[in-house]
Chain A
Amino acid sequence: MGKKICWAVIFITIAVNVVMVQWTVEATLGREYSIVPIYSGISIVMVFIAFFTYLQWKKLEYSESHDE
C-alpha cells in the first residue's frame, strides 16, 4: 500500500466516523438503543483501520527519508 493510498484511507475513515457519530447521536436521542452498538462498532473498526494505516504510512514515510 502506497503513501497516497494511506492518506486516502485515513481521510475515508474520518468521513465514515463523522457520519457514524451523527447517526449514533441521532439513534441515542431517538431511543433506538438496538442500533447504537452497530454504529459504534463500525466506528471502532474505522479507528483500527486508521491506526494501522497510519503505522503503514509511518513505515513508508520514514524509511524513504532515511534513505535520502
Chain B
Amino acid sequence: MMSEAIALYRKPLKGVEKMSNECKKERHAKRSKSDMVNLIQNVDQKDDLKYNRRAFLKTAVGASMALGLSTVPFSVRAMMGLSEPDHERVEIAKLADLPEGDSVTFYYPTENDPALLIHTVNGDLVAYNSACTHLMCPVFYEKEEDVLLCPCHKGYFDVNNGHPVAGPPQRELPLIEIEVENGTVYAVGRQFRHG
C-alpha cells in the first residue's frame, strides 16, 4: 500500500509531463511558437548590454585618450633633436644657363629631395623642394601662368613665395635658400615654414 502510494507520487501526471517537455524544448528556444515569448523576440539582450549609453561614453573617453596619447611620439621625436641638420653649400647651376622663365631640377639637401631652381619671368631667382606638400608628386614651373603646378591633383603654388594658392595642398613648399656668387647659383639652406 505504502509502495504504491510512493510510486503514484513519483509518477508525473500526463498533462504535467507534456508541459515540462514543452518548456525544455520550446519556451527557451530562439524561435519559439509561444506568442508570449515572441512578444520580446525583437529584443536582443546581448546587444542591449553591449551597445548602450554607458558603453558609448566609455568608448568616447577611450577615443579621447587615444587621440591625446597619439601626439606623444611626435613630441618625443621633436625633443630627441631629430631636427633639420646644417646644410652644405651646393652648386646648382650657372646663371647664364638659366634664362628668364626657365627652371632646372636639382637635389637638395640629399639625393632624395628633388628641388626646382626657377628664374621667373620677372627676373627673380627662387628655389623650392619640388615634392608637392599634398601627396609628394613633382611640382613643375608653368612659365605662361608664372605659377608652380602639381599636375597630379591640380595643386597650384605661388612662385614668389611657394605658398599654395589653389587645389588640395595646405602647406607651402620648403624654400631652398640660395646665393649667387660669380654667376653661379648655390643652395645654402632650407626653410620649411616661411613667408
Contacts and interface: CB of A to CB of B under 8 A. Distances in A.
Interface of A: 7, 10-11, 13-14, 17-18, 20-21, 24-34, 36-37, 39-41, 43-44, 46-47, 50-51, 53-54, 57, 61
B64 A20 contact: no
Residue with the greatest number of chain A CB neighbours at <10 A, chosen from B61, B72, B171, B193: B61
A46 B65 CA distance: 8
Given A24-B75, A33-B78, 19 more contacts: A7-B57, A10-B57, A10-B60, A11-B60, A14-B63, A17-B64, A17-B71, A18-B67, A20-B67, A21-B70, A24-B71, A28-B74, A29-B171, A30-B171, A31-B83, A39-B75, A40-B72, A44-B68, A50-B68
Contacts, number: 90
Q: Is the interface of A mostly helix, strand, loop or mixed?
A: helix
B192 A32 contact: yes
B164 to A, nearest CB: 13
Interface string B115-150: 000000000000000000100000000000000000
Interface residues of B, number: 27
Contacts of A7: 57
12 contacts: A10-B61, A17-B67, A31-B83, A36-B74, A40-B74, A43-B72, A44-B69, A47-B64, A47-B65, A47-B68, A50-B68, A54-B58
Given A10-B60, A40-B75, A57-B57, A33 B83 contact: yes
A20 B83 CA distance: 20
A13 B72 contact: no
